Amino acid sequence: MNRRTLGLLAALCLTSACKEDPVGAMTPIPRPADMPATPEKTAEAPKPVAAEPPPDPSKVTLRWKLDAPTAFRLTTTSSSAAPAPEPKSKKGKKGKESQPEAGPSGETDAIFVLQKTESGDYAFRIVPQKAGGEADQGTMSERGFVMDGLAGPLRNVAVLVLELPREPVGPETTWALGTDLVDMGSVQGFVEKKAERRNQVKLTALTPGENGEQVATLEYDLSERLAGEMRATRAQIRAVMKTASSKPQHAPHEGHEDGDEEESSQGEPSVVAEMRVKGRGEFLVKAGRWRSWEATLTTRTEGTSLPGTSNGERTLRLTPLDPVPPELLQPQAKK
C-alpha cells in the first residue's frame, strides 16, 4: 500500500471519530404528537384562612370585672333544727379557732372582698364580722375558679358564689361547678358503698337591665349523697385489744390477725351524709358582678357528723356593698 492510500485511510478514521457521540450521552426521545405540552409551574396561591364564626348574639360570656374592688356581705341564716354532735375540739390547724358556725335561727356575717393584686391576679378575702374571727384569702381566675386557698366547707361556699361558666352561655345552657359538697376524707374508718351526685347550674334567662345592662339569671341545683359503713381502723383495733388483754381471750377466728386494718363488716354501723343546694342569682353581664344571689343548703347526716356543718337548712345570701368600706381594702401581696 502506498503512502497516498495510507493518508486517505487516516483522514477517514479521524473524521468518523469526531462524529461519534461521547460515552454515556443521552439522546432525547421526541414527544408524541398527541401528548400535550407540560405547563409551566406557578407559585401556589395561599389557602384562604377560614373566618371565625361571628359571636352568637343569644349567648354571653360571664366574667368578673375587678377594675375596682368589689365587696359583698354574705349572710348565713340557719333554720331551727337539731344540731349534729359537736366535735370535741374547735381548734383548726396551727391552733387557730375554726370559723364560728351559725346556731339554730342565728346568723353569721362575713364580707367577700374581690380585687386585683399588684401583679394583676384576681384575689379574694373572706372577712368574718364576729369578734375573734380571722380572714381567709385565696386567688381565683377571671371566671371565679378558685385556684389557691381555702379548704372544706368554706371552699365550697367560695365556689358557689364565685365560679362562673367557662364557655359563653345562653338560655337553657347548663354547666357544673368544682364543688365537693360531702367530704368524708376526714372521717376515719368510713368506707364508701354508694354515691349519688347531681351538679348543675342553668342560665334560665337573659333580660335587659338599666343603662344597657344585661342580667343573666342563674339557677343552682346541686346535691351529693354518700352512703357507707364505719369500720374500725388499725389504731382502734389495737386500743380495744390492749384494753381486753387482761381478760380471758377466745381463740381468734381464722383469717384475722393482729394488725388487720378492718374487722368483719357484720354489725358495722351504716352512715349516710347528704347535702343539697338550691339557689338563684342575677349576674350583671357588663358590670361583671352579682346583683343578687341566694341559695338554701340542706344537710343531713346519719351515723356520723360532717366537720364544719350541722343538720338542717341554711340560707346563704349575698348583698352588694357599694362603696366598699375603706377598712376592708388592703394591699395584696405578689405571688
pLDDT in tens, 5-64: 666 666 655 555 555 555 666 677 777 777 766 666 566 667 777 666 677 878 999 999
CA distance 265 to 263: 6
Q: Which residue has the cell 381464722?
A: 254
* pLDDT score at 86: 45
- Looking at residues 208-231, what average pLDDT do you find? 92
User: What cell was used for 213?
Assistant: 345592662
CA distance 310 to 66: 34
Q: Which residue has the cell 378492718?
A: 262
User: What cell was used for 314?
Assistant: 341554711
- A 10 A CB-CB count for 34 gives 5
Segment 66-120, tens digit of pLDDT: 999 999 999 999 875 444 444 444 344 443 433 334 333 446 589 999 999 888 8
Confidence of residue 248 (pLDDT cuts 50, 70, 90): low
* Ramachandran category for residue 158: left, alpha or beta (phi over 0 → left; psi -120 to 50 → alpha): alpha
* pLDDT more than 70, % of the chain: 66
Segment 128-154, tens digit of pLDDT: 988 878 889 999 999 999 998 888 888
Q: For the chain, what is the radius of gyration of the CA atoms?
A: 39
- Looking at residues 283-310, what average pLDDT do you find? 89
> In this model, does residue 277 exceed pLDDT 90?
yes
CA distance 239 to 232: 10
- Looking at residues 179-207, what average pLDDT do you find? 88
Task: Please give the C-alpha separations between residue 85 and each of 64, 82, 116, in angstroms, as whole numbers.
Answer: 39, 9, 40
* pLDDT score at 176: 97
Burial environment of residue 177 by CB neighbours within 10 A (0 to 12, 13 to 18, 19 or more): buried
* pLDDT score at 125: 92
The mean pLDDT of the chain is 77
Task: Please give the C-alpha separations between residue 281 and each of 130, 141, 290, 294, in angstroms, as whole numbers.
Answer: 26, 20, 7, 6
Residue type, 105: S
Give pTM, 2 decimals. Answer: 0.67
Q: Note whether 186 and 211 are within 8 A (CB).
A: no
Pick the range with the lowest mean pLDDT from 123-132, 239-248, 287-296: 239-248
| DSSP one-letter string for 24-87 | T--PPPPPPTTSPPPPPP-PPPPPPPPPPPPPPTT-B------SS-EEEEEEEEEPS-PPPPPP
- Looking at residues 187-193, what average pLDDT do you find? 80
Task: Name which of 142, 157, 158, 122 is nearest 63 in CA terms.
Answer: 142
> In this model, does residue 304 exceed pLDDT 50?
yes
